[in-house]
Amino acid sequence: MLLRPLISLLSLLSLTAAASVSPSRRQSAACNNSPSLCSKAYNSVVHLGAHDSPFLRDASNGFSASGNQYFNSSVQLSAGVRLLSAQVHKSNSEWHLCHSSCDLLDAGLLSDWLEEIKTWLDKNPRITMHFTPTSCSWLNMVEIFFGIITRQAIRRGTFTDVTGLQDTIRTYIDSYNERATPFTWTKTADELLGKIKRKSINNTRH
């Protein structure tokens, strides 16, 4: 499975306790079946994510090079993936899962993919889903961090196994958090809103 290895700060799926589960079973199944995680802060737990989850590289599309995954989203979730991402485009008045463009790779209707995920969630009531829209400001910062850790830690390293890669990622995150400083805006809200207004006027069609 071609998985993005850097999903360490973001999760679309989080665990919730089901009241109907017996105390003993709840204890053994808590915290994604890893009770040792229960004492950790949420932002200290590393989550595994799948980039462009619904775009398969299989016989259905001639093993298209545009496909990112070898297993469908249900299998990904069952394997422990806790972030699913997708690209959506409108085609013929319907929302389709299209990789960059629908001409390149159309993985079908968005509604069908969401139904697949809902079916999985219905069978796993301890998992709840959180929807994160594209281009929300904090998600952009996560993508920026992916670029930073790739340039400064991963691309420079040589890894003989997955454990070595994971250790490097965790060490870098710990070091980064120790020296991180709050983001400081360099422009006022009025300046930003004025720029948006000017762009809107310039793009007006007559």
CA distance 28 to 100: 42
Set 89, 96, 99, 206: catalytic member: 99
Is 51 among the residues known to form the active site? yes
Is 99 among the residues known to form the active site? yes
Set 51, 89, 130, 206: catalytic member: 51
CA distance 8 to 154: 14
Beta strands per DSSP E along the chain? 13-15, 49-50, 83-84, 88-91, 94-98, 106-109, 127-129
**Chain position carrying tokens 């949420």:** 42
CA distance 177 to 127: 28
* Residues annotated catalytic, as ranges: 51, 99
